[in-house]
Structure 1
Amino acid sequence: MTAQTSDEEEILRLHRDWYYANFNIDIPLMRTVFPVGDENFLMFNLNDHPYFGVDDLANLWSFYARTDRWGLCEDYVLRVDVSGDMAYVVSEGNFPAWVVRDEEGNALPEDQIIDRPAYYRSTEIYRRDDGNGRAEWKMWHFHCSTRPADDEAPAAKTEKDSAAVRGLGNTPYSTGIRTEYDQALETS
């Protein structure tokens, strides 16, 4: 991979902070990734529902903070691309998850780990606009969906096309960038 530009570095920092905020359900850190204003952010969440604006997402996270717990993502960036004042990141990975309350909302005697990690892929759209017109990179759209287990071969392809063989984040023409959380750990 070629050296990253300062814009790519900033986009990858926001990407890292986004995933690190998920791990801790850190709402203040999560808010720093997105533009201000409810009309400026749209998410298609891994839970299959849309969220409109950072306050809507913060309400969801407040709910999850009472019911669930997530481990740190093993995340790999397949692509980061910056063109003028727009950019996007495509990544894939997985994270462990636990249920901490039953369906009635009662605390479980101990956290129940979900059988397998949550496998995801995501696309993030960035603009150099903080929502108030200042030239600051922020994530304006996030779309996350499930992905198959690493050893599953895609339809019409062979076992060699599985994530386990190609390696998370890798494509036929590039090697993925593993999201490292060292700097996030130092500032939290």
Structure 2
Amino acid sequence: MTDRTSDEQRLLQLHHDWYYSNFNINIPLMRTVFPRGEENFLMFNLNGHPYFGVDDLADLWSYYARTGRWGLCADYVLRVEALGDLGYVLSEGTFPAWKVKDPDGNFLPDDQQRDLTLRYRSTEIYKRDDGAGQPEWKMWHFHCSTRPPDDEAPPAKTEHDAAGVRGLGNTPYSVGIRTEYKVGP
């Protein structure tokens, strides 16, 4: 990997904070990643639906906080780049989650609880704009989709190109960055 610019380091920190905020649904930390203003953020969520603005996302997370348990992602950055006032982060990983409660927050019987752990791939778009015109990096768009099993070879490629062989975050020309988390103080 090449040395990172201070802007790229900032994008990696926001990326870290975004994925860490998913752990046990930390809405205050999540809000620090996105711009202010309801029209300034658009997400294509892993659940398949769009969310418009950070308040819309906070409402979704409040629902998830009542119904699930959320672990730390095993996240690997494939690429980070800052170009002027725009930047992006591309990553892939595994997001552990379990549905353990109904929408009212009551625990489900054991036979109705579900492991929702997902393999994902994400694209994050950043602008050096806090939503109020101040030059502060914020994530303006997030798109997440499921990725195939780690042992599945992409069409027109061989089993050597499967994620489990190449290693998450790795590309033919670079080694990925593992997002490291520290739980607790």
TM bin, normalised by shorter chain, reads over 0.9
- Count of equivalent residues: 184
Identity of matched residues, %: 73
Deviations along 1:42-88, one digit per CA (max 9) or x if unpaired, are 00000000000000000000000011112100000000011000000
Asked whether the 8 Å contact 2:77–2:178 carries over to 1, the reply is yes
Q: CA shift at 1:132, angstroms?
A: 0.4
Pairwise CA RMSD of aligned residues? 1.8
Query: In the alignment, what sits opposite 2:68?
Result: 68
Asked whether the 8 Å contact 1:93–1:120 carries over to 2, the reply is yes
* Structure showing the higher helix proportion among its residues: 1
3-state secondary structure, aligned to 1:66: helix
Residue 93 of structure 2 corresponds to residue 56 of structure 1: no
- Spell out the pairing of 1:34-113 with structure 2 (5 A cutoff): 34-102=34-102, 106-109=106-109, 112=113
Query: In the alignment, what sits opposite 2:139?
Result: 139
Asked whether the 8 Å contact 2:66–2:104 carries over to 1, the reply is no
Q: CA shift at 1:176, angstroms?
A: 0.3
Using the alignment, how far apart are the partners of 2:147 and 2:9 within structure 1?
26
Using the alignment, how far apart are the partners of 1:177 and 1:60 within structure 2?
29
Using the alignment, how far apart are the partners of 1:70 and 1:158 within structure 2?
34
Q: CA shift at 1:112, angstroms?
A: 3.5
Pair 69,136 (structure 1): closer, same or farther in 2 beyond 3 Å: same
In structure 2, list runs of 5 or more residues that go unmatched: none
Q: TM-score, normalised by structure 2?
A: 0.94
Asked whether the 8 Å contact 1:96–1:113 carries over to 2, the reply is no
Matched AA of 2:143: H
In structure 1, list runs of 5 or more residues that go unmatched: none
Deviations along 1:120-170, one digit per CA (max 9) or x if unpaired, are 000000000000000000000000000011111112211101000000000
Using the alignment, how far apart are the partners of 1:16 and 1:104 within structure 2?
30
Q: TM-score, normalised by structure 1?
A: 0.92
